[in-house]
Amino acid sequence: MTRYTILLCAAALLFVNVDMSARAADAPQSSASGSVTVVNDYLFRGLSQTNRDPALQAGMEYDHSSGWYIGAWGSNISWLSDLSSSAAPVSSSLEVDAYTGYRGSFGGDWTYDVGLYEYYYPGSYPSGFVSPDTLEGYAALGWKNVTLKYSHAFTNLFGFADSKNSDYLDLSWNYEFVPNWVLNTHVGHQTVKHNAGFAYTDWKLGVTRNFEHGYSVSLGYYDTNASKALYTNAYGHYVGRATAILSLGKAF
């Protein structure tokens, strides 16, 4: 049984237990939400996951009134097969994530969030290929519209050999400057343990327009300083290039 399966089973048991307790108390103890998004290019930490092609993404989350939550998210990808050669093909076109954590607030303007996040890439891989599946722990501290988040890999990081204990630091600021219009800013830095050349910084500047019934449109400018020599795939595409990303979303 993989750690991914264990995480899902444990989360499912907690989900059932909490939900039954909430029903027994006959009180609004929990809530569920979801989203569906279409993007012209799926970027993760500034890097294209779909070789500049569109992606369809969906997620669901269960939140308990105690602050505990559990969720799942998925998207089509191509970055793994984009790295492979015909002599050693990789067949993987899907990312499925599972996460669970605890969030809350204190002191009026302060928030916190801690949890575990599993990135899972089903598919077939050649002998000796380092698994891209990654388990990270994260902790975030927010003040008003500013959030600082730290993620730490408990496994190898996205297929890099001997990269356990890699980390990512993310600073974001999201400000609603007029009703339903949100300015989105972000800067992050990825380190890859024992693979220093693959470290890079990424940043973003964008805007989101929220509409009624959960619809939203976002447009952002993304860029990185990732090494072109190291982050160019088998198609000759530099996946850390500066690019504009348009996304259409529906929350429910």
Rounded to whole angstroms, the Cα distance separating 200 from 26 reads: 50
Q: How do the domains of the chain map onto residue ranges? A: 30-251
34 vs 63: CA distance, rounded Å: 11
Domain at 30-251: CATH code: 2.40.160.40
Quote the pLDDT of residue 13: 43
- CA–CA gap between residue 94 and residue 22 (Å, rounded): 34
pLDDT at 16: 42
Stretches in the chain below the pLDDT threshold 50: 1, 4-6, 8-26
pLDDT score of 29: 78
Q: Which of 212, 213, 203, 201 is nearest to 245 (CA)?
A: 203
Threshold 0.85, pTM exceeds:
yes
pLDDT at 20: 38
- Give the model confidence (pLDDT) of 166-196 as tens digits: 999 999 999 999 999 999 999 999 999 999 9
pLDDT (tens digit per residue) in 143-169: 999 999 999 999 999 999 999 999 999
Q: What is the pLDDT of residue 26?
A: 46
- pLDDT (0 to 100) of residue 71: 98
For residue 249, the cross-strand partners are 37, 216
